[in-house]
Amino acid sequence: MIERTDQRLRLTLRQLEVFVATARDGSTRAAATRVSRSQSAASAALAELEATLGAPLFDRIGRRLVLNENGRALLPGAIAQLEQGAELQSLFTAEHRAPLRMAASLTIGEYLLPPHIAAWKAEHPHSPVRLVIGNTSEVIAAVVALEVDVGFIEGAQTHPDLRVQPWLSDELVIVAAPSHPLAAGPAGVRQLAEATWILRELGSGTRQASDSWLLERLGPLQVEFELGSTEAIKRLAAAGAGLACLSRRAVAAELALGSLVALRTRLPAARRRLVIVTRREKRLGRATADFLRHCVTQAQAQDRAATPLRRRSRAT
């Protein structure tokens, strides 16, 4: 860990900027390009920072600079300081707001977040939005590596460095083309076990949830298609290629149009929570904190609106 004998440290944002860029790119040459400085200036800034702290921040492995224990301890705070500096600057330059940097798993990123982003952007027109979409494992990795500030995931996976906040409820449904032999239902356990299945790839939150729900009750499935695209799965299922297990939110439009039908089965309902993940020790910037408040407030409003409907459905 970093040992400090002089409490009057003289850290600068320029030094921290070079340090963070080097941590991300693995060399002062690449870091210099990222921060628009010469390599000699970047190397000097990094050397000054290490001298001020009295400890090295990187180990040299081949031609790469890799964070050591000191560097890993410093990185979250360094990023937070740079973001605070950007926020202070944005007070006087409205056209340069701190960006909203997020990652989301496929179902959330493609079907749930866009309306939230559009509504939030209307109130924050000067804040750029950067959204990376991947499977749950990729989103977790991006948040842990501080490549993004917040992640939205649909799986039960987590990481010791992450803070997990419940967000929305979701339900998995088994869908098929209206012409599928099991579409008339109700489909029995043996029929489902013997059917051809179209599922998401391993590592996705939807696949993790569907395996947890189905395998325990049906045993090994005949998975003929494993796809990393929800849209491709829906198209294959609509073409009659097999059964798919997806979020009801992701197939809402197809169910309404009738190109897919939700199978009636004797399986218990499969409900899950969609969650928000952030780094434990990372201070969220103003834009990120505002967006999360917006998403949580909207989710609470949806839950309140849905409660009377659930009570009526139980009563009938």
Q: Does pLDDT of 91 surpass 70?
A: no
Give the span between the Cα atoms of 196 and 191, in whole angstroms: 10
The H-or-E segment that residue 162 falls in is: strand 162-176
pLDDT, average across residues 14-43 = 89
Is the pLDDT at 307 greater than 70? The verdict is: no
The percentage of the chain sitting over the pLDDT mark of 70, rounded to a whole number, equals: 89
Q: What is the pLDDT of residues 121-161, one digit of tens each?
A: 888 888 889 999 998 889 999 999 888 999 999 877 789 99
Tens-place pLDDT, residues 163-214: 999 999 899 999 999 999 999 879 999 999 999 999 999 888 899 999 999 9
Please give the structure tokens belonging to residue 223.
């998975």
β-pairing, 129-134 with 100-105?
Answer: parallel
Domain borders along the chain are: 13-90, 99-316
The arithmetic mean of pLDDT across residues 246-253, rounded, is 94
Q: What's the one-letter identity of residue 138?
A: E
Residue 7: pLDDT band by 50, 70, 90 thresholds?
Answer: very low
Mean pLDDT of 291-303: 84
Instruction: Report the alpha-carbon distance of residue 151 to residue 295 in Å, rounded.
Output: 12
Work out the average pLDDT over 208-232: 94
Compute the distance between CA of residue 206 and CA of residue 137 in angstroms, rounded to an integer.
Answer: 11
Mean per-residue pLDDT, 92-116: 81
| Angle value at C-alpha 81, between 79 and 82, nearest 5 degrees | 65
d(CA 108, CA 265): 26
* Those residues with Cβ within 8 angstroms of residue 13's Cβ, 6 or more apart along the chain or in another chain: 81, 82, 85
Classify 213 in phi/psi space as left (phi over 0), alpha (psi -120 to 50) or beta: alpha
Look at the domain 99-316 and name its fold: D-Maltodextrin-Binding Protein; domain 2 (3.40.190)
Q: How much is the average pLDDT of 253-278?
A: 94
Q: What is the pLDDT of residue 301?
A: 78
Judge whether residue 316 has pLDDT over 80: no
Average pLDDT rounded to a whole number, residues 58-79: 89
Amino acid code (one letter) for 7: Q
- Range from 10-24, 80-94, 284-298 carrying the lowest mean pLDDT: 80-94
Average pLDDT over the chain, rounded to an integer: 86
Residue 50 has pLDDT above 60, yes or no: yes
Helices (H), 156-229: 189-194, 205-218
In this prediction, residue 146 carries a pLDDT of 86
pLDDT at 96 over 80: no
CB-based contact 36:21 (threshold 8 Å) = no
The whole-number average pLDDT for the span 52-60 is 90
Residue 213 phi/psi, 5-degree rounding, is -75, -45
Given this model, what pLDDT does residue 92 score?
52
CATH code that applies to domain 13-90: 1.10.10.10
Q: Band of the pLDDT at 315, cuts 50, 70, 90?
A: very low
pLDDT band, very low/low/confident/very high, at 62 (cuts 50, 70, 90): confident
Q: How many other C-beta atoms are found inside a 10 Å radius of the C-beta of residue 293?
A: 11
Of 19-33, 66-80, 84-98, 296-310, least confident by mean pLDDT is: 84-98
Tell whether the model's pLDDT for residue 258 goes beyond 60: yes
pLDDT for residue 232 is more than 50: yes
